Structure 1
Amino acid sequence: MATLPALTSIRFLAALTVVLCHFTEIGVLNGPEWFLQMADGGRPAVSLFFVLSGFVLTFTYRDKIGLPGGATAFYAARFARIYPVLVLSLLLSLPVTVWLLHTGDSELLREWYGLKGSYIAMLAVSLVAQLLALTAWLPFSALNQPWNGPAWSISCEAFFYALFPLLLRWLEKRGSGALTLLCLALWLLQGAWIALLLAVLPPSRHGFLVAQFPLTHLFEFVLGVCAGIAYARLRGAGGSRHTLGMGLVAVAVCAVGTLAVLRPLSPAFYLQAPFFGALILGLALLERPVAGVLHRRWLVSLGEASFALYLIHVPLARMAYLAGWRQQAGWLAVALAILLSLAIYRYVEEPMRRQLRRRLARPRLVLPVVPPAVPPVVPPASAAQAPAVPVPASNG
């Protein structure tokens, strides 16, 4: 987002958190234990993505979604945005899958893909689920973990995208107090849902439903949409909001940091999510850089490439592991993943997005504007002979 660079920059910081956690889990890095504990495996960072997604979509499409063809253009733009990189990430997963099948490494097939038997059949079904963005709806590791496990978040995003046009129009009609109460109610509902899952289901089932199920994360997306509406209303009311933005950012950073260290509840993202909304709204309201780091062009560029980094990092980490990269070499793999994401954004993601948007855009029939017929006026021979000029009927 060129107009809100700080929000683009934090996307990279969130993506990098996920990358470091997964590289450590796969065995390519030896990340410090304190970092892994605070990051909770990268799950809060993904929740931040969902809140940010709701905010950015509202910021971008609030004035467009209600126009004729607005919803169609929105869906075309979202497809063009996510699908090329999703397919590319699956192509990067292909060498890993072929190698595991070729070597018959049952240990890694079980650890990475959750497969214990019927490899080919389950891999085929999983691939179809990945291509259709359905893996987050399938609570079976043999279906949602093969190929590119982090793509589960794309299933959530696709669900949120489907709801967004109607959701935005419905929320726009509510007052600020009603939106606040709605967010509070949904947050409590999310907590009750998580508590129910933890109490009723065994860890082999509730872990997935808590961490990846789209309905579990719906509150976070709605929170982002409500924050986007709040931002538009505050800006529309006029006046400076810089001080409010600084206050929100300060409270959010302190709260998220404290909750990350203390971890009073699990999953960590549950208590942190409301403060993600405050952080995003606060950063958007800032009228000038405070520290200035988040507005640096290099960090904004990394933020623009963060979607590619998020989707390609696990296949690359697995390839690095199979190639024997460990410990210090793992940092080289992280650097290569970041550089590759920048190249993908520039040479694949953006060109494909523009091309797909052009192809998916519905051609509009533009009718020529025909001026109303005006009776010719014949100059009279004299004023006395001038005929009355008829007045054209009003077009309303």
Structure 2
Amino acid sequence: MKQKMQQWLVRPQGKLGPLGLVVLLVTASLVTPLSLDMYTPAVPHMTEAFGTTAGTVNLTLVGYFLFFAVGLLVFGPLSDRYGRRPVLLAGVVTYTSASGLCALALDIEMLIAFRVVQALGAGAVSAVAIAVVKDAFKAEKREAILSIVQVMFVVGPVLSPVVGALILQVFDWRMTFCALGAVGVFCCALAVLFEETLPQEERYRGTVLGSIGQLGAVARNKGFSSFLAIVGLYNLPFMAYIAVGSYVYISFFGLSELEYSVFFAVAALLTAAGPFIWLKASRYVSARRFTGILLAAAALSGVAMLLAGELSPVLFCLTFLVFALTEACIRPYSTNILLSQQEGDTGAASSLINFAHTAIGYVGMLLAVLPWSSYVQGIGVLIVASMAFAGIGWIALLKSRIPLAGIKDAAPSGQEAPAVRGGRPGQGSLDASSPAQGSAR
């Protein structure tokens, strides 16, 4: 098995090996959902402990979101210039140190400051992780690896609050950050063994500001930006569910905290099957057709939630589960398609992918707490509206002349499709009518 997996790599990992690299990438992908959601059950306890308001404590979440996004946008492009390993090491050390400091915070101001530092480290780790998948693995194996790695982006936010609640059954809120620090230590140990996957000759050779400016070059790739906007809409209702799910189960349906945890855990475990459903389906259906099927199924799940979601917690969970499964199915191959739009600037592309999902998810969390007649109705409306916009965008993209490698060509799933390369500063950007061009590094 190990020897077979070794053949998947285009950049050998003598110390970690292919399995160790996958474990590193999975752990790195867990950092963000754990950091955002695992400590949320402890928020009331922190309000008491610091003698402050819930609004002030919520700055630890808002600050994390904001600076995590900053970290994504800065460190992904920097990894195109300096390599993946130094950025990954710096990020994971920063994250681990800040997690420990959060556990030792003496007042709420210190906790907010340490959460900001923690977020910057997590941004670096997340930006590099997806880029490494493209660097290190053969194109035909990339979707399988992304299926393993990206399932954590779906399962993590659902399972993290449950883990946080279990910790609080025995310890206080500080132990939550100790647990995050332990995850960071484990990630550190793997990162030390990680060997560089971006050779010197393939790195961006311009200035530091120029490397960050490559975000604009990637964003100007119309196929990349259009497809990212479409699949990113999945995150809006998904994070709305994360934001108000506990209120639905506990306040609306009257379940106990333990029963609520069971529903969340079951949904997380079943959602984990999503990426592997796509791997099976890809043998029989193209990514183009499957995307249309998923968008339709997701929209119908929203309609079903509006009609029956308020009748029982089981029906609410089932209707959301259908939606969550469609997102889990679309994540791996859509990420692979997005990465395939760029021949270079993989770090910048990875940053924009993660940033878009994070930003859209944040909007979903804000919309979730609007004065809906019930949160069940609110989530249902957000699912239907988001998938309607995504479906319209998908049809428009297919009918447009905008190139989309892996969808509008005949490249089979999992194989490298013709890529569009982002322009460098001083060059014209590519549009739908321009031939794919290389650009000097």
TM-score (norm 2): 0.31
Structure with more contact order per residue of length (Cα contacts < 8 Å, sep ≥ 6): 1
| Structure number with larger C-alpha Rg | 1
TM-score (norm 1): 0.34
